[in-house]
């Protein structure tokens, strides 16, 4: 199955003529991103680790991960090349402490190999105890996002906020942000709070082994890639799509050795059918990915009731209705995972996509609400969303060339993402080990300028 999108511009860059053209015209030079492979190392080089004096509980935990993975931990003040720089600023108390950020990250940047990683560790501003601490904590957001824009050659920078008491819940997020799984995730702030990841050791190459995962809209595009990646990580797939997409859906299901369920997510009994199928055929339900979505673009002035209703119906209302069954007593198991697919159009809005923007913003509201829901959290269920930016699919392939070309370059990585990038993020959010991340919206957009 082709989850690799096609980017003729990137292909052109691979030729000598293309390179000359790009150099002489001063065009952007998108790097080939380092992407995850089951047998790839977590980092393809040394990691540099820095921290505030005396107070570095998280850096110590990260060092343990590197020990397990056999990754060399380099000296931040050395000059040898490195794959990542991590700075633990969880103990930051006032703006003066930010110098540590500069002192560690600045010299490291020149040493980073392609697809390098900057990972900044902080604490949420909401739990600050002094004005100075709140200011300093928030400053890390601006600093990280700015560094992300400075990075070249496929490098990314992200900020991981670790709530007090959640220090032992960070491993899945750290691994995600350092690995090729987060190739197209940059300039993001992700918070880890609460949660109780299972104590058993995680098998990191098969983190979803034994799980039953439902993916809606799985016949093609991003949904097919999600199904493929979840299956690669060990899950049994229930691939759902409209009956009319049944031919492609069967191909996806058979390739992944899962089952195909032909169902329109807007049907009143869709949730029940999904839950029934997962229970009867696979013995339970662990992961649900609400990915099915449509666009019916028109300026609002020209949008009739049907265009409005169909987009909100498929992209938002269907999820609410299906969740009655999915979050009900026969639905997701305790410790289950739900991931919703939003869009940067739901964050920034988009001309001609008022219906779509409304639906995708609604998805974020739903995610935030459910992610905080005390009852769900007490059952160990997390709910998160991904917000893809420009992803190379049939949907975006239909966009006129010039618009598409702009869409694809308007981000810090200077290229469109691939369906697999969205899928990797969803697979990470679906891990048991990721119990501390809930109610978050992770943008998979290469730090798009839109809605930043």
Ligand X SMILES: NC(=O)c1ccc[n+]([C@@H]2O[C@H](COP(=O)([O-])OP(=O)(O)OC[C@H]3O[C@@H](n4cnc5c(N)ncnc54)[C@H](O)[C@@H]3O)[C@@H](O)[C@H]2O)c1
C-beta closer to ligand X: residue 287 or 314: 314
Binding mask 110-149 for other proteins (x = CB under 8 A): ----------------------------------------
Mark the segment that binds ligand X (CB under 6 A) among 39-47, 103-111, 118-126, 259-267.
Answer: 259-267
Interaction mask 414-443, ligand X, x per CB under 6 A: ------------------------------
For 16, which DSSP code? H
H-only helix segments in 91-167 = 99-109, 131-150
Best CA proximity match to 311, nearest among 326, 324, 327, 298? 298
Give the orientation angle of helix 131-150 with respect to helix 99-109, to 10 degrees.
Answer: 10
CA dihedral 425, 430, 432, 435 (to 10 degrees): 80
E strands present in 81-194: 82-88, 112-122, 156-162, 189-192
Q: Which phi and psi angles does 33 have, rounded to 5°?
A: -75, 145
| Sheet with 382-388, edge to edge strand ranges | 259-262, 236-241, 212-216, 287-290, 337-341, 382-388, 441-444
CB of 314 vs other proteins, minimal distance in Å: 17
DSSP assignment of 383-445: EEEEEE-SB-SHHHHTS-HHHHHHHHHSBTTSS-B-HHHHHHHHHHHT-GGGTT--S-EEEES
**Which span (12-20, 244-252, 382-390, 411-419) binds other proteins, by CB under 8 A?**
244-252
Note if 9 is an active site residue: no
Tell me which residue of 72, 86, 85, 88 sits closest to 111, measured CA to CA: 85
Q: Of the candidates 46, 118, 219, 423, which one interacts with ligand X according to CB under 6 A?
A: 219
To the nearest whole angstrom, how small is the minimum distance from the Cβ of residue 134 to ligand X? 33
Residue nearer to ligand X on the CB measure, 190 or 345:
345
Strands across the sheet containing 73-74: 73-74, 47-51, 82-88, 112-122, 156-162, 189-192
Structure tokens at 57: 């509980």
User: Site residues for ligand X, window 339-368 (CB under 6 A)?
Assistant: 341, 343
Question: Which of the listed partners (ligand X, other proteins, none) does 282 bind, with a CB threshold of 5 to 8 Å by partner kind?
Answer: other proteins
In the list ligand X, other proteins, none, the entry touching 258 (Cβ below 5 to 8 angstroms by class) is other proteins
Distance between CA atoms of 118 and 148, rounded to whole angstroms? Answer: 8
Indicate which single residue of 246, 313, 349, 352 sits in contact with other proteins (rule: CB under 8 A).
246
Angle at the Cα of 446 (from 445 to 451), degrees rounded to 5? 55
Q: Which of 73, 103, 267, 300 binds other proteins (CB under 8 A)?
A: 267
Q: State the binding partner of 294 from ligand X, other proteins, none, CB within 5 to 8 A by kind.
A: ligand X
Tell me the closest approach of the beta carbon of residue 441 to ligand X, in angstroms.
Answer: 12
Q: Which one, 121 or 227, has the nearer CB to ligand X?
A: 227
Catalytic residue chosen out of the listed positions 9, 36, 184, 356: 356
Using DSSP's 3-state secondary structure scheme, residue 165 falls into coil
CB of 325 to other proteins, least distance (A): 17
Select from ligand X, other proteins, none the partner in contact with residue 216, using the beta carbon and a kind-dependent cut-off of 5 to 8 Å.
Answer: ligand X
Q: Is residue 258 near other proteins by the rule CB under 8 A?
A: yes
C-alpha to C-alpha distance for 294 and 310, rounded to whole angstroms: 8
Q: Give which of other proteins, ligand X, none residue 286 binds (C-beta under 5 to 8 Å, depending on kind).
A: none
Enumerate binding residues for other proteins (CB under 8 A). 239, 243-247, 249-251, 253-263, 267, 280-283
Binding residues for ligand X (CB under 6 A): 216-217, 219-223, 241-242, 245, 264-266, 291-294, 314, 341, 343, 388, 390-391, 393-396
Active site residues: 356
């Amino acid at each position: 199955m082709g989850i690799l999108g096609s980017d003729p511009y990137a292909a052109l860059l691979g030729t000598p003529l293309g390179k000359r053209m790009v150099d002489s015209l001063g065009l952007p030079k998108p790097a080939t991103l380092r992407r995850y492979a089951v047998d790839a190392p977590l980092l393809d080089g040394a990691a540099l680790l820095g921290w505030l004096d005396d107070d570095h509980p998280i850096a110590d935990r990260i060092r343990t991960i590197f020990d397990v993975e056999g990754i060399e931990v380099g000296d931040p003040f050395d000059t040898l090349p490195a794959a990542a720089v991590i700075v633990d600023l969880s103990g930051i108390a006032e703006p003066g402490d930010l110098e540590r950020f500069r002192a560690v990250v600045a010299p490291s940047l020149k040493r980073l190999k392609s697809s390098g990683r900057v990972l900044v560790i902080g604490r949420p501003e909401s739990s600050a105890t002094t004005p100075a601490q709140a200011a300093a904590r928030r400053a890390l957001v601006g600093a990280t996002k700015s560094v992300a824009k400075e990075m070249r050659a496929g490098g990314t920078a992200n900020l991981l906020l670790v709530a007090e008491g959640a220090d032992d819940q960070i491993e899945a997020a750290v691994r995600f942000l350092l690995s090729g799984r987060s190739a197209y995730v940059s300039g993001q702030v992700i918070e880890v709070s609460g949660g109780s990841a299972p104590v058993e050791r995680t098998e990191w190459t098969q983190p979803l082994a034994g799980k039953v995962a439902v993916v809606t809209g799985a016949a093609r595009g991003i949904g097919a890639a999600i199904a493929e990646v979840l299956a690669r990580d060990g899950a049994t797939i229930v691939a759902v799509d409209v009956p009319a997409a049944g031919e492609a859906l069967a191909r996806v299901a058979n390739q992944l050795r899962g089952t195909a369920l032909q169902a329109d997510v807007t049907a009143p009994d869709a949730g029940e059918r999904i839950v029934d199928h997962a229970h009867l055929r696979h013995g339970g339900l662990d992961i649900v990915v609400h990915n099915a979505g449509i666009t019916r673009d028109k300026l609002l002035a020209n949008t009739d009731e049907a265009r409005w209703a169909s987009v909100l119906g498929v992209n938002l209302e269907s999820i609410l209705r299906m969740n009655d069954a999915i979050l009900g007593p026969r639905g997701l198991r305790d410790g289950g995972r739900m991931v919703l697919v939003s869009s940067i159009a739901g964050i920034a809005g988009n001309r001609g996509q008022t219906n779509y923007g409304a639906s995708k913003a609604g998805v974020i509201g739903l995610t935030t609400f459910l992610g905080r829901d005390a009852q769900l959290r007490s059952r160990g269920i997390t709910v998160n969303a991904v917000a893809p930016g420009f992803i190379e699919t049939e949907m975006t392939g239909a966009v006129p060339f010039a618009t598409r070309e702009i869409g694809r370059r308007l981000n810090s990585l200077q290229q469109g993402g691939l369906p697999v990038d969205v899928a990797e993020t969803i697979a990470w959010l679906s891990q048991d080990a990721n119990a501390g991340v809930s109610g978050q919206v992770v943008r998979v957009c290469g730090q798009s300028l839109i809605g930043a």
